[in-house]
Amino acid sequence: MSETVSEKTRDRIMYVLAMLSAALLTWNLYKIFMILPDEKNQGAIYRIVYMHVPSIFTGFTGFFVALAASALYLITKDLKYDAFAAAVTEVSLAFASIVLATGMIWGRIIWGIWWAWDARLTTMLVCWLIYFGYVMLRRAIDEPTQRARLSAVVSVFGCVDIMIVYKSIEWWRTQHPAPVLSVRDGGGMGPGMESPIYWNWLAFMCLAAILVMVRMRQESISREIDSLRRMAHAY
Amino acid sequence: MDPRNFTYMFYGYAAAFLILVVYVVFLFRRQQKLTNELDRVRRMLEKN
């Protein structure tokens, strides 16, 4: 009974988040394409920043949440934290993929090349590979506690790379643009041009929360299947 | 809107939404697969 109530509550939260995310995205896209002024040198392509930056904010937020959940697993050995870390990491990896794809398309026009082995791009690719490895590792190991322990270690390792990705544009001045956002003392983007980045981040966070909830439900079904199989073997 | 590089801007937004749609489809298919597997295991236990 209580599980049904909790499932209903979860469904309601998901609907609310979906509506909020859709409303925010619709308003933001309208603002980005119809209201915001053009950038002098880049033409329309500069608008990719409104997908690129919110995606990395969402991805990195998720990876840090996964780090916290992984650390909690290592301390408590409670598999629910492992399930949460796995769900958040997989969803964050989707947003990290958006960062790489949109960055490459922007680079094709602005730099004339799809990819450069510059410090920011390379560290971001390494970050993506670490978390892709995390997802693959979980598929490769059947034993739950061993899978959880090794995944938690990879999650901690991945977060070290996130710090390097973040600082890379300060430590090495290579091809990727220097910090632009005013929160990083980058001088800002002009009046009203920066706020859609944060609103899109909020919309993506709502979307990510929905995907994590769906993914958590799948983790719960997987656990149920595992326990039923163990029961079947016991007979 | 400035028409310069409009096509590649479109590709950028299309790529972003495509990745999300592909992931949602992937989640949906996995959900179906897990639900079917759960039903199968339950039926198997009931038979035993």
| Per-residue model confidence as pLDDT tens for chain A (235 residues) | 455 558 889 899 999 999 999 999 999 999 999 998 888 788 889 999 999 999 999 999 999 999 999 999 999 999 999 999 999 999 999 999 999 999 999 999 999 999 999 999 999 999 999 999 999 999 999 888 999 999 999 999 999 999 999 999 888 888 888 777 877 776 667 778 889 999 999 999 999 999 999 999 999 999 899 888 888 776 6
Total count of domains within chain A: 1
**B19 Cβ neighbours under 8 A, 6+ residues apart:** A94, A97, A98, A101
Task: Tell me what pLDDT residue A173 has.
Answer: 81
Task: Tell me what pLDDT residue A175 has.
Answer: 83
Is residue A206 included in any domain, yes or no?
yes
Task: Tell me what pLDDT residue A200 has.
Answer: 95
Task: Tell me what pLDDT residue A152 has.
Answer: 96
For residue A23, CA distances in Å to A27, A29, A54, B44 come to 6, 10, 16, 45
Task: Tell me what pLDDT residue A132 has.
Answer: 97
Is residue A202 included in any domain, yes or no?
yes
Is residue A85 included in any domain, yes or no?
yes
Strand partners, A23: none
Residue A226 domain boundaries = 47-172+187-234
Query: Residue A231's closest chain B neighbor by CA?
Result: B45
Q: Which chain A residues contact residue B38 at CB under 8 A?
A: 221, 224-225, 228
Q: Residues 21 to 40 of A: which have CB under 8 A from any B CB?
A: 33, 38-39
Is residue A29 included in any domain, yes or no?
no
* % of chain B exceeding 90 in pLDDT: 77
For residue B12, what is the DSSP state? Answer: H
Residue of B8, B19, B38 lying closest to A225 (CB–CB): B38
Contact B20 A207 (CB under 8 A): yes
**A172 Cβ neighbours under 8 A, 6+ residues apart:** A118, A119
Is residue A41 included in any domain, yes or no?
no
Contact A98 B24 (CB under 8 A): no
Contact A108 B8 (CB under 8 A): yes
Measured CA to CA, the distance from residue A102 to residue B12 in angstroms comes to 5
Q: Residues 67 to 106 of A: which have CB under 8 A from any B CB?
A: 91, 94, 97-98, 101-102, 105-106
Measured CA to CA, the distance from residue A32 to residue A54 in angstroms comes to 13
Measured CA to CA, the distance from residue A42 to residue A55 in angstroms comes to 21
Measured CA to CA, the distance from residue A36 to residue A203 in angstroms comes to 18
Whether the CB of A42 is below 8 Å from some CB of chain B: the reply is yes
Is residue A15 included in any domain, yes or no?
no
Contact A102 B15 (CB under 8 A): yes
Q: ipTM of this model?
A: 0.90
The structural domains of chain B, with segments of one domain joined by +, span 19-48
Q: How sure is the predictor about B4, in pLDDT bands with cuts at 50, 70 and 90?
A: confident
For residue A117, CA distances in Å to A60, A121, A126, B18 come to 21, 6, 11, 26
Helix (H) or strand (E) holding B15: helix B6-47
Is residue A99 included in any domain, yes or no?
yes
Q: In chain B, which residues touch A (CB < 8 A)? A: 1-6, 8-9, 11-13, 15-16, 19-20, 23-24, 27, 30-31, 34-35, 37-38, 41-42, 44-45, 48
Q: How far is A106 from chain B (nearest CA, A)?
A: 7
